[in-house]
Amino acid sequence: DGGITQSPKYLFRKEGQNVTLSCEQNLNHDAMYWYRQDPGQGLRLIYYSQIVNDFQKGDIAEGYSVSREKKESFPLTVTSAQKNPTAFYLCASSPKGGGVFYGYTFGSGTRLTVV
């Protein structure tokens, strides 16, 4: 079945440590996105990519980095520069054009906790 796979489901980060969240899709979607979800807030866009080897900053990109070397993969690195990384991270994908008439498909999320 086609879909988006995020791993790991739970991740613990020590202070000053970089961690990478995996996102893989087999939907043949051109665009991929990373969102952050905090309690009581709507999803906020971190980074997005509309084509391989190209990506753009979203609303809260500081302290995060991404790469898009393959169409299927869009990993997110949470760097030590991100001062409040504890959150639920969601990866999504859509057909080219941001899904004007199509829904976004979301992964099942990664819960990151700073210890």
Partner 1 sequence: KNQVEQSPQSLIILEGKNCTLQCNYTVSPFSNLRWYKQDTGRGPVSLTIMTFSENTKSNGRYTATLDADTKQSSLHITASQLSDSASYICVVSHSYGGATNKLIFGTGTLLAVQP
Write down the least CB distance from residue 33 to partner 1, Å: 9
Q: Does 100 bind partner 1 (CB under 8 A)?
A: yes
How many other β-carbons are positioned within 10 Å of the β-carbon of residue 9?
9
Q: Does 102 bind partner 1 (CB under 8 A)?
A: yes
Q: Taking Cα atoms as reference points, which of 5, 3, 27, 17 lies closest to residue 110?
A: 5
Given 45, 52, 60, 114, the residue binding partner 1 (CB under 8 A): 45
Q: Taking Cα atoms as reference points, which of 5, 97, 7 lies closest to residue 51?
A: 97
Question: Cα 52 vs. chain centroid, distance in angstroms?
Answer: 15
Write down the least CB distance from residue 80 to partner 1, Å: 26
* Nearer Cβ to partner 1 (82/105): 105
Amino acid at 104: Y
Given 14, 83, 101, 115, the residue binding partner 1 (CB under 8 A): 101
